[in-house]
């Protein structure tokens, strides 16, 4: 894989980090962006030490000019931009009655509006190179509603539909747009949640037929597949990667028969 790559955020940890490292191993030049400059630098150094090509950039995806600068930095680093991974996401677990308006706005800004911003500036660069691929990280909460997470579910549902919309609009430019919908995934953020809920981790695992959470690499690999030439006829796809969590429901009495 020789395309250029610009994640818009969250490449310093979790799923974004795994995507950046895997892409670099496959030969891509990687712009590692994260809200934490130290985390971005650490991943870029890891890529450089392994013989890859990377640059670190501090980025808050709520900053429209920052996203424009990230796209420009990718072009400067690699001579063009072929791939874009939108990974950034936050959750404030409150129902709509309890959530303040600024909290609602923040979740939608990071999870959904940032994808509009990054795509707006990346697509012209991809068009100049004859095409490209965008992969958005949504969530199973965008496919099925998640209790106490109204803003998160609304934002991720928006990611699903925006992905399909962009796939239709830019197929003529040879730009493919797809999304992955992770289920429960073991990342620094989710591990932080479980520290505040001693039984939460086991309860979440019990909801999954595979009885465990995904490792970040298990989400990164399907995301990279969607960006690769092996997926050259796939656009508008929403790939659920959740260990079977949304496959169906169990009737407890049947398990005892």
Query: What is the pLDDT, as a whole number, of residue 156?
Result: 98
Tell me whether residue 191 is in a domain: no
Tell me whether residue 196 is in a domain: no
Which of 116, 152, 193, 233 does the annotation list as catalytic?
152
Residue 193 designated active-site: no
DSSP 228: S
| pLDDT digit string, tens, across residues 30-50 | 999 999 999 999 999 999 999
Query: What is the pLDDT, as a whole number, of residue 76?
Result: 86
Read off the CATH number of the domain in which 109 is found. Answer: 3.40.50.720
Q: What residues contact 84, with CB distance under 8 A and at least 6 apart? A: 5, 6, 7, 8, 118, 119, 122, 126, 132, 133, 134, 135
Q: Which residues of the chain have pLDDT under 50?
A: 1, 3, 8
Query: What is the pLDDT, as a whole number, of residue 70?
Result: 92
Nearest Cα to Cα of residue 10 among 81, 67, 108, 86: 86
Domain count, the chain: 1
Host domain of residue 21? 4-184+216-241
Tell me whether residue 202 is in a domain: no
């Amino acid at each position: 894989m020789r395309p250029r790559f610009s994640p818009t955020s969250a490449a310093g940890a979790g799923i974004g980090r795994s995507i950046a490292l895997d892409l670099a191993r496959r030969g891509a030049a990687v712009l590692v962006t994260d809200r934490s400059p130290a985390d971005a630098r650490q991943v870029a150094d890891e890529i450089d030490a392994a013989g890859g090509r990377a640059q670190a950039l501090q980025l808050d995806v709520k900053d429209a000019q920052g996203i424009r600068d990230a796209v420009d930095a990718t072009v400067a680093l690699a001579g063009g931009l072929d791939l874009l991974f939108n990974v950034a996401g936050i959750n404030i677990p409150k129902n709509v009655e309890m959530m303040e308006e600024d909290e609602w706005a923040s979740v939608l800004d990071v999870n959904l509006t940032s994808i509009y911003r990054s795509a707006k500036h990346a697509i012209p660069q991809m068009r100049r190179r004859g095409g490209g691929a965008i992969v958005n990280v949504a969530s199973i909460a965008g496919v099925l509603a998640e209790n106490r997470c109204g803003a998160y579910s609304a934002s991720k549902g928006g990611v699903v539909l925006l992905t399909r919309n962009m796939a239709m609009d830019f197929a003529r430019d040879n730009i493919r747009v797809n999304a992955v919908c992770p289920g429960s995934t073991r990342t620094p953020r989710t591990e932080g949640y479980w520290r505040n809920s001693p039984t939460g981790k086991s309860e979440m695992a019990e909801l999954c037929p595979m009885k465990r959470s995904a490792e970040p690499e298990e989400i990164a690999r399907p995301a990279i597949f969607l960006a690769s030439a092996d997926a050259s006829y796939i656009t508008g796809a929403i790939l659920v990667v959740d260990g079977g969590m949304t496959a169906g429901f169990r009737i407890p009495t049947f398990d005892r028969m």
